[in-house]
Structure 1
Amino acid sequence: MDLSYTDEEQAFRAEVRDWLAETLPRDLSEKVRLGKRMSKQDVEHWHRLLNAKGWLAPNWPKKYGGAEWNAVQRQIFEEEACLAHAPRTLPFGLSMLAPVLMAFGSEEQRQRFLPGLLDGTNWWCQGYSEPGAGSDLAAVKTRAVREGDEYVVNGQKTWTTLGQHADWIFCLVRTDPDAKKQEGISFLLIDMTSPGVTVRPIVLIDGEAEVNEVFFDNVRVPAENLVGEENKGWTYAKYLLTHERTNIAGVGFSTAALDTVKHVAQNVKSGGKPLTENPHFAARLAQVEIDLMAMATTNLRVVSAAAKGEAPGAESSMLKVKGTVIRQELTSLLRRAVGPDALPFQPDYLEGGDNAEMMGPEHAATAGPSYFNMRKLSIFGGSNEVQRTIITKAIIGL
């Protein structure tokens, strides 16, 4: 595989870089650079700008409003967007649900739901994890019973990211309780405004309600909202998770985080010298940079295969494991570079209040919360322990 960029790809990189410089709002960029929290309005603003350019859905076919970029173009855009400190686009609808609808949904479902993902009409969240069914996702117990032209849904989902903002949720539900657990699951689309849906935020240690519990109490869902075939949802869930795990690798985010760590460490003194000259710190920094370079190459191989219509297999698990370890190491190095200034919890600063002042040097307020928040990366999307088992079975054959 030729890992050098062509003249056309270099020109595309320049186009992306110029557009970001002209279009990315400074206030949003500063929020991202300093690790402040993004509001729903911030994310919607960025989505609108990308959609106006035709770049909101880079991997979608043009007939559905996507950019239809190849794997290299998507990689270039992610790198440049992260280096410019652009907000992250929400993946739940754009890069998780949409591929499932395109591969397994009906044309009516695609025409109904895809436009709303682009114009911001509908926010989506993911209804997978349950109490007792996280990494063992096939153990889901939320039930959907067919009654005429509807399903009646009862159960609970948890760790539902940004569920408090969502208009719709795509859910794994059990439709055949007597079948083997992987074979009795269906993939259902549920309107969050339906009677019987209750959302209860889970306030995390940093004070933010990023995740939620979602309860279903006799929620009636039209049967037309079933994606694909009944009891085939496990197949669709695995397809979606391969895309989620590849996204979790976060090459662009790690590249930007590495730059931040280097900048902070260069300006922190250790024994009268920059921290980057401390042998122990420098060795860890060099190792994570080498790991990131290797992962970027592997990621390019995987997304190239995906561009040819191949769903990622065990490779996505590899990227998920390595990507999350790298991102966690970078947050650890940043916290160590900031030192004791990372200890105070400054919620007003994180929320971006006009009068909020940061105590300590730049990045001090966000180093601690970012470190603790990123512990989740090795758990969600399938824990790293489970991913290593998948890799072993798929490649070694044990």
Structure 2
Amino acid sequence: MDLKTDPKLEEFRADVRAFFANDFPQDILEKTARGASLTTAEIRKSESALGRKGWLAAAWPEEHGGPGWSLKEQYIFDEELERAGVPTVTPMGVVYVGPILYTFGTDEQKARWLPGIREGREGWAQGYSEPEAGSDLASLQFSAVRDGDEYVLNGTKIWTSAAQHADWIFCLARTDNSGKKQEGITFIISEMDRPGVTLRPIITIDGKHALNQVTFDNVRVPADYRIGEEGKGWTYSQFLLGHERTSYARIGGKRKQLAHIRAIASAVPDGGNSRLIDDDAFARKLAEANLAVDALEMTVLRVLSAVKDGGAPGKEASIIKILATEAAQQITTLYLDTAGLNANRGFADSVSPAWLEGGLATQHAAPGVSTYLGTRAQSIYGGTNEIQHNIIAKRVLEL
């Protein structure tokens, strides 16, 4: 996939860049740049701005309300979105459940849920992991029992990202225990405010509220909240996971972080006489991180080149998941290095205490630590990297 030989693609890139510079809500960009968490209202404002432009469901085909972009255009859009510092689009709606709905849902279900997703009016959460079913997702015990024209839902979902902002949640639920554990799993939807649904926040080590535990106690939902056939949920979940694992790449955001780290390392502390960028060991780490992002980008382009427009990435998405999460951890470790090593240099150069209060490196020390801690989880969620190695060995390499 060559992005540099088509003048039309550069025109497209310029249009996208101009929209983010001139028409996207600047207060959202400013708050995100500070590393502050957005409220539910601000998330809706951000995603509705993209929805009004017709750009929120960037990968959807035209027949389902997407812009009908080629894979190259989708890639450029994602790159420019990250470069501009736009908040990452909540993937549970447009990236995860949206393609499930327009691929396996009925016409009535598509009409009911797709507009709210692509316009950014409604938020979604993903109910997959359970306290005893994480990487071994097929061991889930969350149940959906048919009772006339309803399903009765019972059980607990955990590590549920952005559920505090969600109007709806899609769940994998066990409807049959008689066969293999991958069988008897059904894909079903519920409102987050249904009677019997309880949300408990989980505050992570980075101090953020991104995760939740969601408990269902005899929650009744209409039978037409089931997507596709009963017992086929495992098949649908594998379709979804291909989209999820490629969504971790975020090349533009990683390049922006690396440029930020280079700027911090290139600054001379007030009263100091040396730059961290001139330290050979640090410069090598920064170069290695740049190479990791280059390798990730080439891998993403290779995988996407093999995907038909509107289709789902295949089992090779596990490779992207590993490379993307390891690169993220490699990059955010550099934030700790810039803060710690610059501070050491400041003390060695007898820099005044004022530098420690307001210097370039220390301004970003606290958010850098938070970002570092947050990315520790990336190699766990979405299927641990150890599990992804097994998938690659068995399904890609056929070992």
TM-score greater than 0.5 by the shorter chain: yes
| Pair 1:64–1:310, CA change in 2 (3 A) | closer
SS at match of 2:200: strand
Residue 364 of structure 1 deviates from its aligned partner by: 2.2
What are the residue-to-residue correspondences of 1:1-398 with 2, within 5 Å?
1-267=1-267, 272-339=273-340, 361-398=362-399
SS at match of 1:248: coil
Distance 2:115 2:311 in 1: 25
Residue 3 of structure 1 deviates from its aligned partner by: 5.0
Correspondence for 2:349: none
Residue 36 of structure 1 deviates from its aligned partner by: 2.1
Residue 119 of structure 1 deviates from its aligned partner by: 3.3
SS at match of 1:224: helix
Task: Write out per-residue CA displacement over residues 327-381 of structure 1, whole angstroms, 9 at most, x where no aligned residue.
Answer: 1111110121122899xxxxxxxxxxxxxxx866332220111100111110010
Q: What amino acid is aligned across from residue 155 of structure 2 in structure 1?
A: G
Distance 2:49 2:253 in 1: 20
- Whether the aligned pair in 1 keeps the contact of 2:79 and 2:250 (CA below 8 Å) is no
- Select between 28-37 and 318-327 the one with higher mean Cα deviation: 28-37
Residue 274 of structure 1 deviates from its aligned partner by: 1.9
Task: Write out per-residue CA displacement over residues 297-349 of structure 1, whole angstroms, 9 at most, x where no aligned residue.
Answer: 2212223333435432232100000000001111110121122899xxxxxxx
SS at match of 2:146: strand
Residue 277 of structure 1 deviates from its aligned partner by: 1.7
SS at match of 2:152: strand
- Whether the aligned pair in 1 keeps the contact of 2:127 and 2:169 (CA below 8 Å) is yes
Residue 53 of structure 1 deviates from its aligned partner by: 1.3
SS at match of 2:59: coil
Distance 1:238 1:118 in 2: 22
| Pair 1:10–1:3, CA change in 2 (3 A) | closer
Count of matched residue positions in the alignment of Structure 1 and Structure 2 = 383
Task: Write out per-residue CA displacement over residues 188-234 of structure 1, whole angstroms, 9 at most, x where no aligned residue.
Answer: 01111211111111122343321111111111111111111100000
Q: What amino acid is aligned across from residue 60 of structure 2 in structure 1?
A: W
Distance 2:30 2:301 in 1: 29
SS at match of 2:163: coil
Distance 1:68 1:106 in 2: 21
Distance 1:395 1:242 in 2: 13
| Pair 1:38–1:9, CA change in 2 (3 A) | same
Q: What amino acid is aligned across from residue 291 of structure 1 in structure 2?
A: A
| Pair 1:363–1:239, CA change in 2 (3 A) | same
- Select between 323-332 and 200-209 the one with higher mean Cα deviation: 200-209
SS at match of 1:37: coil
Residue 241 of structure 1 deviates from its aligned partner by: 0.8
SS at match of 1:213: strand
Distance 1:336 1:30 in 2: 25
- Whether the aligned pair in 1 keeps the contact of 2:152 and 2:218 (CA below 8 Å) is yes
Task: Write out per-residue CA displacement over residues 247-273 of structure 1, whole angstroms, 9 at most, x where no aligned residue.
Answer: 01222221221111111111156x943
SS at match of 1:181: coil
Task: Write out per-residue CA displacement over residues 5-37 of structure 1, whole angstroms, 9 at most, x where no aligned residue.
Answer: 411101111111111111233332222223222
- Whether the aligned pair in 2 keeps the contact of 1:71 and 1:303 (CA below 8 Å) is yes
Distance 1:47 1:331 in 2: 26
- Whether the aligned pair in 2 keeps the contact of 1:200 and 1:214 (CA below 8 Å) is yes
- Whether the aligned pair in 2 keeps the contact of 1:341 and 1:364 (CA below 8 Å) is no
Gaps of 5+ in 1: 343-357
- Whether the aligned pair in 2 keeps the contact of 1:327 and 1:374 (CA below 8 Å) is yes
| Pair 1:274–1:126, CA change in 2 (3 A) | same
| Pair 1:5–1:376, CA change in 2 (3 A) | farther
What is the identity percentage for the equivalent residue pairs of Structure 1 and Structure 2? 45
Correspondence for 1:347: none
TM-score (norm 1): 0.91
- Whether the aligned pair in 1 keeps the contact of 2:175 and 2:185 (CA below 8 Å) is yes
| Pair 1:78–1:120, CA change in 2 (3 A) | closer
Correspondence for 1:350: none
SS at match of 1:200: strand
Structure 1 stretches of 4+ moved >4 Å: none
Q: What amino acid is aligned across from residue 366 of structure 1 in structure 2?
A: P
- Select between 42-51 and 104-113 the one with higher mean Cα deviation: 42-51
Distance 1:394 1:268 in 2: 50
SS at match of 2:164: coil
- Whether the aligned pair in 2 keeps the contact of 1:79 and 1:255 (CA below 8 Å) is no
SS at match of 1:19: helix
Correspondence for 2:351: none
- Whether the aligned pair in 2 keeps the contact of 1:197 and 1:214 (CA below 8 Å) is yes
SS at match of 2:306: helix
- Whether the aligned pair in 1 keeps the contact of 2:335 and 2:365 (CA below 8 Å) is no
SS at match of 2:144: strand
Distance 1:190 1:5 in 2: 46
